[in-house]
Structure 1
Amino acid sequence: MANTILTPTAVTREALRVLHQKLNFVGSITREYDDSFARQGAKVGDTLKVRLPNQYTVRTGSTLDAQDSTETSVDLKVQTQKGVDLNFTSVDLTLSLDDFSERILEPAMSVLAANIEADAMSMYKDVYNQVNNHGATATFAKILQGRKILVDNLAPLAGRTCNLNTQDNVDLVDALKGLFNDRTNISKQYREGYMGRTAGFDFMENTLWPSHTVGTKAGTPLVKGASQSGASLITDGWTASTAALTAGDVFTIAGVYRVHPETKQSTGILQQFVATADGVADGSGNLTVAISPAIVTTGATQNVSGSPADNAAITVAGTASTPHGISMAYHKGAFAFASADMVMPRGVDFAAREVFDGVSMRIVRQYDINNDKFPCRLDVLYGYQTLRPQLACRLANN
């Protein structure tokens, strides 16, 4: 039987299919914003403002106490371009689709997927909820603690994923193997790394979760000055001129408790914060720390029981200057990923653009007359953003 020449569209669709199967983190977070970016480039520019849910306070009594609706948003920027550049000939396009996919597209899409996924996983640094289990093996009990944190933050039941690094998977799989649902269509319906479902999570394994190295946290850090609020915290007591904090370090402040998201009553549990930038103490041990969430003590967006007291102790999680593994339990609404359709060039040998599950890929091939070759490029233009970090929880283990 004669070979059928593969078309640019067939090649692009197959490349997207392979890429799609390898993106299990990106594939399990919010993807609904792709349509906001137009054909022939992004009609909203490279930035989309994503509105967050409004929050309100509740009146007690019969007297009207009208409140304004203050909408908040975060920016989702689609501005990262990654691609794989190949040389394949017209002869290559006479292969069967399966042969072409295995020999050419599979290795190319694997490395592209790994780089996109690794980029998106850097959003772990935005997440302040953490189950602290540093230096110990992952257990099912710790997974359930992560589930409790999501429930306490009102994460919807549907759309939850527990995405494990490979060591955490080793530690958990034997204990969990009898709990996963038996699904005959797992191999066809789910991405690579899908393990099964239990405890309200789709469990996945991913080789790309980074480790996090805690800062030196040298000294005896304290809050410097009472009644502080907002997205920065003035502190002192660090060892002078040290790199005290690393972006992504999680800490608590004595006496600052998390409140229920709706009733605003104290839960009696210390609110966790994350340093959103590296912090270096000055020569006197002072350090202004950029933090998330911002400290809010009143109103509809209140998240803590009160401002920290002067000289309140700060406790940084983890062992100083030591890396630990990261896994993540999250609702898909915690993070977003979007891709945009790239402009199609003219006057080339062939070009095509296809979209699969919201990922838009462009392929372009041109003849190089100087070297008698057909260089080909596959490109994805994408962006990612943490939308609601309270709907995610880091699992810090070995």
Structure 2
Amino acid sequence: MANTILTPTAVTREALRVLHQKLNFIGNINRQYDDSFAKDGAKIGDSLKIRLPNEYTVRTGLTMSSQDTTEASTTLQVATVKGVDLNFTSTELTLSLDDFSDRILKPAMSVLAANIEADALSMYKDVYNVVDQDGVAFNLLSVLKGRQMLQDNLTPAGDRSSLLSTGSSVKLVDAVKGLFQDSEQISKQYREGKMGRTGGFDHYENTLLVAHTTGTAPKATTYVTNGVNQVGSSIVVSTGTATFKKGDVITFAGVFSVHSETKASTGVLKQFVITADYAGGAGSIQIAPAVVATGGRQNVSNAIANGSAIVKVAAGANELINADMVFHKDAFTFATADLVLPKGVDFAAREVMDGISMSVVRDFTVADRSFPCRLDVLYGFKTLRAEWAARIHADA
């Protein structure tokens, strides 16, 4: 009986299935596939435009006060290609799909998934809400404080996940072990350190999380603002010598967060993330979110006053902020697009699965009779709603 040869489509679909299974961060965020490139293929640097929700204010009384609708959007570039290059022979294509997957695709997809996931996890630097439990051991309360931050920002109730380091996962499993029933499935999750769902989140353990190293500024940074009623994303500060790193989180004295709809002050200092490294001295620090003191997108109780003290959250000089995070699916997005498929090669195929597009191309090299093969993913990622995520720092 003749051997059945695995087709390019079968190889690509199985590679995608394995890749998708291994992406526990990307697998839990918004994934967008742009089919506008499906015919001719995309080029590195092609952009997708993603629309953001409109926000309005409410009037009191009969007098009408019309508001212009200003559509806000963000641009996402599919600017990165990652792939795995390997050789496999026509003989290996006669293996069963399961054998081919175990021997060739799973090892290749494992390393590809790890590199793509590690790249996408850099979006933590966009998240400005931090649960500050410096000096406290990670526990269920850490997760619930993260949930509180999401609730206060009116994050939708469903599609919430937590991503935990191996150390935090162990502590959380130990903290809530009494909540698990003795069913086969749940006890298996408990023994493997996989939490399942508790506290309003689906919990995932991820070995790729890397703690954030802050700049040289201590918690009491000694910096103060230099300018009256400052708003926006660039804040002028007085002279100093300490540095900030992109991803550091700060507060300004007297600047509080507000309810997203009523705009009433919560009495809690608004947190901001540094968006570009700052070398020290007098100048302007770049922050997110931009300070908005009026209108439908108001996010603070008032503009930043002159001489407001700047305090660093969660960690002091050159210290670490843990990478644990809770988030809603739509806080982040990961987008892929189709690459051009070449003609005149041994085989080529591309497939899409759950918002992830992959191409497989294999050729023949006459010089040494080898069959070089490449598996590629063209992608980009973007933080869409940073307020729908929170980092958790509990380092005891």
Range into which the TM-score falls when normalised by the shorter chain: over 0.9
Residues 57 and 322 of structure 1, relative CA distance in 2, 3 Å threshold: same
Are the aligned partners of 2:54 and 2:72 in contact in 1 as well (CA < 8 Å)?
yes
Matched residue SS, 1:177: helix
Matched residue SS, 1:40: coil
**Match of residue 208 from structure 1:** 208
Are the aligned partners of 2:142 and 2:394 in contact in 1 as well (CA < 8 Å)?
no
Deviations 1:101-135 (A, max 9, x none): 11111111001001110111000000000101234
In 1, the alpha carbon distance for the partners of 2:337 and 2:374 equals 16
In 1, the alpha carbon distance for the partners of 2:123 and 2:36 equals 22
Matched residue SS, 2:322: strand
**Match of residue 311 from structure 1:** 307
Residue 324 of structure 1 pairs with residue 326 of structure 2: no
Shift of 1:27: 0.7
Residue 248 of structure 1 pairs with residue 229 of structure 2: no
Shift of 1:237: 4.3
In 2, the alpha carbon distance for the partners of 1:367 and 1:183 equals 53
Q: Give unpaired runs (5+ residues) of structure 1.
A: 187-191
Residue 357 of structure 1 pairs with residue 350 of structure 2: no
In 2, the alpha carbon distance for the partners of 1:383 and 1:44 equals 10
In 2, the alpha carbon distance for the partners of 1:105 and 1:325 equals 33
Matched residue SS, 1:168: helix
Matched residue SS, 1:245: coil
Residue 58 of structure 1 pairs with residue 54 of structure 2: no
**Match of residue 290 from structure 1:** 286
**Match of residue 189 from structure 2:** none
Deviations 1:258-290 (A, max 9, x none): 000000000000000000000011xxx313110
Query: What TM-score comes out, normalization by structure 2 length?
Result: 0.93
The 5-angstrom pairing of residues 1-398 of structure 1 reads 3-35=3-35, 37-42=37-42, 46-179=46-179, 195-217=195-217, 220-239=222-241, 242=242, 244-281=243-280, 285-317=281-313, 318-398=315-395
* Larger CA deviation: 222-231 vs 134-143: 134-143
Query: Which letter does structure 2 place at the counterpart of 1:320?
Result: A
In 2, the alpha carbon distance for the partners of 1:339 and 1:254 equals 42
Residues 183 and 366 of structure 1, relative CA distance in 2, 3 Å threshold: farther
Matched residue SS, 1:74: strand
* Larger CA deviation: 213-222 vs 193-202: 193-202
Query: Which letter does structure 1 place at the counterpart of 2:296?
Result: A
Shift of 1:46: 1.4
Are the aligned partners of 1:180 and 1:196 in contact in 2 as well (CA < 8 Å)?
no
Residues 185 and 344 of structure 1, relative CA distance in 2, 3 Å threshold: farther
Query: Which letter does structure 2 place at the counterpart of 1:92?
Result: E
Aligned sequence identity (%): 59
Query: Which letter does structure 2 place at the counterpart of 1:373?
Result: S
Query: Which letter does structure 2 place at the counterpart of 1:389?
Result: A
Shift of 1:94: 1.5
Matched residue SS, 1:267: strand
In 1, the alpha carbon distance for the partners of 2:246 and 2:185 equals 41
Matched residue SS, 1:361: strand
Are the aligned partners of 2:44 and 2:378 in contact in 1 as well (CA < 8 Å)?
no
Deviations 1:57-114 (A, max 9, x none): 1111101111111111111111211100001111111122222111111111001001
Deviations 1:306-355 (A, max 9, x none): 11221111101212102232111000110001111111111001111111
* Larger CA deviation: 32-41 vs 385-394: 32-41
Deviations 1:118-154 (A, max 9, x none): 1110000000001012343211111101000000000
In 1, the alpha carbon distance for the partners of 2:48 and 2:185 equals 36
Matched residue SS, 2:317: coil
Matched residue SS, 1:255: coil
In 2, the alpha carbon distance for the partners of 1:86 and 1:79 equals 23
In 1, the alpha carbon distance for the partners of 2:55 and 2:69 equals 8
**Match of residue 189 from structure 1:** none
Query: Which letter does structure 2 place at the counterpart of 1:292?
Result: A
Residues 368 and 32 of structure 1, relative CA distance in 2, 3 Å threshold: closer
Query: Which letter does structure 2 place at the counterpart of 1:232?
Result: S
Query: Which letter does structure 2 place at the counterpart of 1:228?
Result: Q
Matched residue SS, 1:279: coil
Are the aligned partners of 1:236 and 1:286 in contact in 2 as well (CA < 8 Å)?
yes
Moved over 6 A (4+): 181-186
Residues 359 and 103 of structure 1, relative CA distance in 2, 3 Å threshold: same
Q: What value does the CA root-mean-square deviation take over the aligned residues? A: 2.2
Are the aligned partners of 1:245 and 1:280 in contact in 2 as well (CA < 8 Å)?
yes
Are the aligned partners of 1:326 and 1:397 in contact in 2 as well (CA < 8 Å)?
no
Are the aligned partners of 1:82 and 1:380 in contact in 2 as well (CA < 8 Å)?
yes
In 2, the alpha carbon distance for the partners of 1:130 and 1:287 equals 25
Residues 119 and 309 of structure 1, relative CA distance in 2, 3 Å threshold: same
In 1, the alpha carbon distance for the partners of 2:193 and 2:368 equals 41
